[in-house]
Structure 1
Amino acid sequence: MEKKEIIGILKQVSEGNLTVDEALLQFKTAPFEDLGFAKIDNHRSLRQGIAEVIYGAGKTPQQIAEIAASMLANGQKTVLITRLNKESAEFVSIKIPLQYYETGNIGIAGELPEPDGYGKIVIATGGTSDIPVAEEAALTAMALGNGIIRLYDIGVAGIHRLLEHADDIMSARVIIAVAGMEGALPSVIGGLADCPVIAVPTSVGYGASFGGLAALLSMLNSCASGVSVVNIDNGFGAGYLASMINHIGAE
């Protein structure tokens, strides 16, 4: 939406020809920016509360750089890029300022916001091998304005490691539990916490884990109440959902 269109809508509101709600609807349904290879939804944060995120896998480094640059130029202060490999990150960082986090394959262009959520998001992993998915969740949550606590390698094979952090678990606003193998961690955490638990199955495990399917089914069949499940290795989806929950009531 161009400046003159925005001014025109605001003028109609001031003259009483358009209600505030009607004006807000027009802003929410404003056109996207067409780059030819991508149509950028610059008004998504107005409609959904969270701006558009770039999924880096399958895009060329040039495409990622152009999309991110356009978002920044249109006023988006934080641009989150998921599934960004090191080679693409090196190219993009030449074009725009970029912080790259290799463990989580995450790039953040622009400013990392101060936490403005209601409480803390705890990100827990069963093992060290689950950390890349957990970091995708953690960095997503941070980019969306949340304070986080990392509790890594506290799986059920050594349950005392988890119980050592009972205070963090019981005081969290939301918990993201990331695990492969048999995927038992979310059920155990769900039995300790009074907040929503988002379970993330990972593809970590031996042959019968079927690339994370065994963990996914275990989590879907959890006997602990309040456990929801996202897709295999979907740290981004978990971080996004946790942020939405953590911002309920924050305003």
Structure 2
Amino acid sequence: MEELNDTGPDMDEVTLRQLISDVRDGSVDPDDAVARLTRLPFADVGDALVDHHRAIRQGMPEAVYGPGKSADQCVTIVGELLEHGAGPVLLTRADVVQRAACLDAHGSADEANQSMLWRRPTPTREANVLVITAGTSDLPVAHEARLTLQAHGFDPSLISDVGVSGLHRLLARVDDITGADAVIVVAGMEGALASVIGGLTSGPVVAVPTSVGYGAGLEGVTALLSMHASCASGISVVGIDNGFGAACAIARSCR
């Protein structure tokens, strides 16, 4: 019988089906398969229960939220996912110390706005997803959304600094906007760009209010309420500065 290494890559749906097939045809011993499956739901690494089952349940990779965790905890959780997971590993909102510790322990990663991605997959999703910002100051949130989309197998495009205060800049990119299958709109100030984009495209639009803005912007609250009150129907709105959440919403919409 072929021995199955229970410290090898964990399973997505494809490898789980292969394991079942291997047990059925006798190439894998049932006891070895059971040893592998015992780690599948989650792994107890001390301070965290690392979810290895998410890809099978949701078809989406696990992500690690950095704030509130120590650098050692980030290293341990990311290491568990890299060692026993088959897919990409995403660490979000990590501070300088956390990022340095993870790079030292686990090697290079793609980075954007304090987020890190190991094992970025080759794009497998055909949907043409566009991330668009009202201003240059919104780019950090847009970069977080873009990196998260890449973790989910998309190859997103980015258009920046086309807010409504200079509408001619946006009109020059109308063909790109109408040609997109889905759009993430990242905007602070009064958040008006989401309504404009929502009136131009038929695809899903996810609006991300940012904390960019002057006094009456209320650190993103004004943009948030404006997007919720949009006259363009069917726009989804995530929390302030939540580029990660916007990307996940698109991943759920564009299967």
Shorter-normalised TM range: 0.7 to 0.9
Residue 204 of structure 1: which of 208, 212, 229 is its match?
A: 212
Partner of 1:71: 81
Question: In the TM superposition, what is the alpha-carbon distance from 1:28 to its structure 2 partner?
Answer: 11
Question: In the TM superposition, what is the alpha-carbon distance from 1:226 to its structure 2 partner?
Answer: 2.4
- C-alpha contact (below 8 Å) 2:131/2:159 kept by paired residues: yes
Partner of 2:29: none
Alignment of 1:38-57 (within 5 A): 38-57=48-67
Query: What secondary structure, in the 3-state scheme, does the structure 2 residue paired with 1:45 have?
Result: helix
**In 2 relative to 1, CA 223–29 (structure 1 residues): closer, same or farther, beyond 3 Å?**
farther
- C-alpha contact (below 8 Å) 1:117/1:243 kept by paired residues: no
Question: In the TM superposition, what is the alpha-carbon distance from 1:94 to its structure 2 partner?
Answer: 0.8
Q: What one-letter code is carried by the residue in structure 2 that aligns with 1:39?
A: L
- C-alpha contact (below 8 Å) 2:213/2:219 kept by paired residues: yes
- C-alpha contact (below 8 Å) 1:199/1:230 kept by paired residues: yes
The gaps in structure 2 that reach 5 residues or longer are: 7-15, 26-36
After the TM superposition, which of the residue ranges 222-231 and 112-121 deviates more from structure 2? 112-121
Query: What secondary structure, in the 3-state scheme, does the structure 2 residue paired with 1:147 have?
Result: coil
Partner of 2:10: none
The gaps in structure 1 that reach 5 residues or longer are: 16-26
Residue 120 of structure 1: which of 116, 128, 137 is its match?
A: 128
After the TM superposition, which of the residue ranges 111-120 and 139-148 deviates more from structure 2? 111-120
Query: What secondary structure, in the 3-state scheme, does the structure 2 residue paired with 1:33 have?
Result: strand
Question: In the TM superposition, what is the alpha-carbon distance from 1:100 to its structure 2 partner?
Answer: 4.6
Partner of 1:21: none
Question: In the TM superposition, what is the alpha-carbon distance from 1:147 to its structure 2 partner?
Answer: 1.2
Question: For residues 163 and 155 of structure 1, what CA distance do their matches in structure 2 show?
Answer: 10
Residue 105 of structure 1: which of 98, 106, 114 is its match?
A: 114
Question: For residues 242 and 129 of structure 2, what CA distance do their matches in structure 1 show?
Answer: 16
Partner of 2:32: none
Normalising to structure 2: TM-score of the pair? Answer: 0.84
CA RMSD of aligned residues (A): 2.4
| Residues 226-251 of structure 1: CA deviation (Å, up to 9, x unaligned) | 211001110000011112222x2xxx
Q: What one-letter code is carried by the residue in structure 1 that aligns with 2:193?
A: L
Alignment of 1:169-208 (within 5 A): 169-208=177-216
Partner of 2:168: 160
- C-alpha contact (below 8 Å) 2:209/2:241 kept by paired residues: yes
Question: In the TM superposition, what is the alpha-carbon distance from 1:107 to its structure 2 partner?
Answer: 0.6
Query: What secondary structure, in the 3-state scheme, does the structure 2 residue paired with 1:98 have?
Result: coil
Partner of 1:245: 253
Partner of 1:18: none
- C-alpha contact (below 8 Å) 2:39/2:52 kept by paired residues: no
Aligned length: 230
After the TM superposition, which of the residue ranges 113-122 and 124-133 deviates more from structure 2? 113-122
Partner of 1:228: 236
Identity across the alignment (%): 44
- C-alpha contact (below 8 Å) 1:51/1:76 kept by paired residues: no
**In 2 relative to 1, CA 129–67 (structure 1 residues): closer, same or farther, beyond 3 Å?**
same
Normalising to structure 1: TM-score of the pair? Answer: 0.85
- C-alpha contact (below 8 Å) 2:61/2:151 kept by paired residues: no
Question: In the TM superposition, what is the alpha-carbon distance from 1:31 to its structure 2 partner?
Answer: 3.3
Question: For residues 49 and 154 of structure 1, what CA distance do their matches in structure 2 show?
Answer: 33
